[in-house]
Structure 1
Amino acid sequence: MEFKLPPAQETAFYNYVQELMHQAILNAEDKVNLNTPWLKGKKQAAKWLGISPQSLAKLMAQGLPVHYLDDMEVVFFNKQEINKYLLAQ
């Protein structure tokens, strides 16, 4: 079965679906931290890189940039710094 919308309704429907898709993509990016330059914790960094925590520890021992907050015992990784480090290897 096929039906045809008038051009104005077709355009409005297209715009509505496009906006829904755009919002869904933004929400998904936020959930996986694609929109932030920082990764909090070793687990998150390892997951983002697609490696094991043990491999991340080896990279850190070899000089992978990491930022520590001593008073909170939290580590942060900057995605741009990670990319730069890996490309230099």
Structure 2
Amino acid sequence: YGWRFFAGKGYEGDIKWIPTVMVGVAKTAVARAKMLSENARQLAKGIEKHPDKFYRHANCPDVADDELLTMEQACMALGLVCESRKQ
């Protein structure tokens, strides 16, 4: 079992072999990394598929592409929590 990676400066892909006793740990680490990076991978796929459009994630406000956003909608579109300054 090994991890393939691509080094910088034009080097080809390389495989870092995992010691047999660590294969289970390595597989768990890969599964966790895939789970934690799911949103980022969906973003990358969306940008590749439609590079000329804003990527709309699940919590993005449902407004037309040419409609101005409120401050709260802009926060939602960027995946941020928007808190009112009024208190």
Instruction: Report if TM-score (shorter chain) is over 0.5.
Output: no
Higher helix share: 1
TM-score band by shorter chain is 0.3 to 0.5
Larger RCO (CA within 8 A; separation ≥ 6): 1
Q: TM-score, normalised by structure 1?
A: 0.34
